Structure 1
């Protein structure tokens, strides 16, 4: 059975890698500033014109790499949250983690007078601190003495905190200057604004630290997905493992949304699609989750850029159009 799972995993990894590369190439070649498909390889090899080189290396490649990295981080964070809470509907955007990061980023933006590009490497840390404070608050209010954290209560408290933080964002918008309101509104809509190389390199350390740790904890996540009695019977300290994995998930989600804005549903959809393809074992579906998360966010951004000729639809809105019906489907399936 394990060999069959590995075989199925390899097949879907290869297929989805091809899909991801196809979306990556389409993202480069479509849009107002783009490079035609037949000119991508020559330009990469140094035979492109000045315009082609500028568009490819300074506009399209950094944007697509940022989207891929952020999609991976959001997808992996969602997979961990679903395992930690034992709730298939868990997502960083729905339980308040993304909103917590957004409040921190917005306050930081107002303090530095909008000069965020010079703080590219600081933004993920700011988002992480505010999102971690949010997650610990949710953890505290859903904790019961002698019972620990109840997964369903954790989700409900998170939804409540997310609503409260949305109110905080409205207060910040109402008190901000007109030029600042536009950035906050775009962030809430999931408009990918950090599309230069520094923003990509700011995401890399979080992925380099977070991905191996979560892969290392795959067996722990498998056990946490079972009943609490089973986990305790296997000698696991449930509270400690949940808290550690929660912190890593918060770090990945906060780093991503600090660059991309309030993008939801990636962390919900990617793990579920991967599970349906290769099964529920974390060793099997986590690698596929990374590719699906990257491809979904790149596809959403590409659609948003080419759907309307005279305007750009934020990637967060495109993802919501896809994710909201999928969420309703999962809700109906799990009720």
Structure 2
């Protein structure tokens, strides 16, 4: 193909990607504004604007700044974190079904958090900031176990084997969590059950502060390593031929994916399918290049969780994770039907 034609095609692809990301950004901002007006106590757009700029009543200020805004921001951060984690895993293992929830990484983080809630939980701020670290340790342990079981000495890492082992590890960890929850008193059992379903209810600014550093550090890191992710997608032999340190890059990228998933699970609970749906839709919209795919997936994930949480707040008895599952499960079945 003529280099000029390649350049034109690449330019068009980038232009299309920029347009898609602008549209998604507008949709996220629109959903953000609608979410601020949604709840059992409705605030009109004018009330929201007045309260944002220092007006409004004390009650409106309390509702907007202490209840709604932290939860909305957490929804955006969790959606972006899960989606980028899924994009990294799908790129690393060249498998569109790779997802932190399906691979057992979420379950590993969930097990550590369940142990914490069961035996050590209290309301101090220090323990709140320890929660992402504990979740990260559980997620990393699950990831290492899956990696070791899926790796074959002469064949390398087999993606299909990894998926199957991830599902098996997830099932085993979930069984352990069921045993743990059965020993809890009714109040703690209800707390853990809601958390495992994926609930953002009760979020406050402390949760935002606990999660924000992970998102700020790891998503830009994934963007910086996006070129390496593109090369790894070509296969190990091609990546070695291009001089890429594949083992080092794979470990760093896997650590970033685990860190994002673990911290998001610690704050938002067992929200599934975001890391599957976001990256897959992003590839369809902007193509496989991770320089474009990762930010698009982050915007799609943020939009999905924000919309799901806005719906969940309209029905206070439903956790956000249930709404996400209602949206994501049919899409997962569709992907399975299309995967050879």
Give 1:324's aligned residue: 329
TM-score (norm 1): 0.95
Counterpart of 1:273 (choices 278, 281, 291) is 281
Are the aligned partners of 2:273 and 2:324 in contact in 1 as well (CA < 8 Å)? yes
Partner of 2:231: 223
1:79-109 CA-partner distances (Å, limit 9, x unpaired): 0010111110111111100110011001111
Superposition deviation, residue 260 in structure 1: 0.6
Q: Which residue of 2 aligns with 1:158?
A: 166
Q: How does 1:1-335 map to 2 (within 5 A)?
A: 1-115=9-123, 119-193=127-201, 195-306=203-314, 308=315, 311-335=316-340
- Gaps spanning 5+ residues in structure 2: where? 1-8
TM-score calculated relative to the size of structure 2: 0.94
What CA distance in whole angstroms lies between the structure 2 residues aligned with 1:156 and 1:238? 23
Q: Provide the aligned C-alpha RMSD in A.
A: 1.4
Distance 1:219 1:106 in 2: 37
Total equivalences in the alignment: 332
Q: What is the rounded CA distance, in whole Å, between the counterparts of 1:137 and 1:14 in structure 2?
A: 40
Distance 1:231 1:142 in 2: 21
CA contact (8 A) 2:71 2:201 kept: no
Instruction: Indicate if the aligned counterparts of 1:265 and 1:324 stay in contact, CA closer than 8 A.
Output: yes
Aligned-residue offset at 1:205: 0.9
| Aligned equivalents of 1:301, 1:42: Cα separation in 2 | 24
Shift of 1:117: 5.7
1:26 to partner: Cα distance: 1.4
